[in-house]
Amino acid sequence: MGFKSFPDKTVLHFQEGITGVVGPNGCGKSNIVDAIRWVMGEMSAKHLRGKSMEDVIFSGTTQRNPMGMASVTMVFSTEDGRVPSAYAHFSEVAINRRLYRSGESEYYINQTQCRLRDIHDLFLGTGVGVRAYSIIEQGRIGQVISAKPEERRLILEEAAGISKFKNRKEAALRKIEATRANLLRLSDIISELKRQINSLDRQARKAERYQILYKELKEIELHLNSLDYLLHRRNDENLSQEVSHLQDQETQISVQVESSENKLAEIRLALQEKEAEYMTRQHQLYEKNN
Question: Per rule CB under 6 A, is residue 276 in the interface with ligand ATP?
Answer: no
Cβ proximity of 138 and 130 under 8 Å: no
User: From residue 199 to residue 228, what is the string marking binding to ligand ATP with x (rule CB under 6 A)?
Assistant: ------------------------------
- Contact between residue 77 and residue 91 where contact means Cβ atoms under 8 Å apart: yes
121 vs 137 by CB, closer to ligand ATP: 137
Answer whether 15's CB lies under 8 Å from 45's CB.
no
Q: How far apart are the first and last CA of the chain?
A: 189
Q: Select 17 or 26, whichever has its Cβ closest to ligand ATP.
A: 26
Q: Residue with the closest Cβ to ligand ATP?
A: 30
Query: Which distant-in-sequence residues (6+ apart) come within 8 Å of 21 by Cβ?
Result: 29, 32
Please give the residues from 3 up to 22 whose contact with ligand ATP meets the rule CB under 6 A: 4-5
Cβ proximity to ligand ATP: between 7 and 125 the closer is 7
Task: With both helix axes pointing from N to C terminus, report the angle between 149-160 and 163-289 in degrees, rounded to the nearest 10.
Answer: 90
Instruction: Identify the helix (H) or strand (E) that includes residue 77.
Output: strand 69-77
* Bridge partners for 106 per DSSP: 98
Q: Which of residues 116-155 bind ligand ATP (CB under 6 A)?
A: 138
Percent helix, strand and coil across the chain, each rounded to 5? 60, 10, 30
Q: Closest distance between ligand ATP and the C-beta of residue 83, in Å? A: 30
Among 37, 39, 41, 58, binds ligand ATP (CB under 6 A): 58
Q: Tell whether residue 59 is a contact of ligand ATP (CB under 6 A).
A: yes
- Residues with Cβ within 8 Å of 158's Cβ and at least 6 positions away in sequence, in order, are 127, 129, 131, 132, 133
Q: Is 31 in the site for ligand ATP (CB under 6 A)?
A: yes
Q: Shortest distance, CB of residue 99 to ligand ATP, whole angstroms?
A: 11
Residue among 2 and 125 whose Cβ is closer to ligand ATP: 2
Please count the residues of this chain forming the interface with ligand ATP, following the rule CB under 6 A: 15
Q: How far is the CB of 35 from ligand ATP (least distance, A)?
A: 9
Among 1, 30, 165, 167, binds ligand ATP (CB under 6 A): 30
- Answer for the pair 105, 125: CB distance below 8 angstroms, yes or no: no
Applying CB under 6 A, which residues contact ligand ATP?
Answer: 4-5, 23, 25-31, 55, 57-59, 138
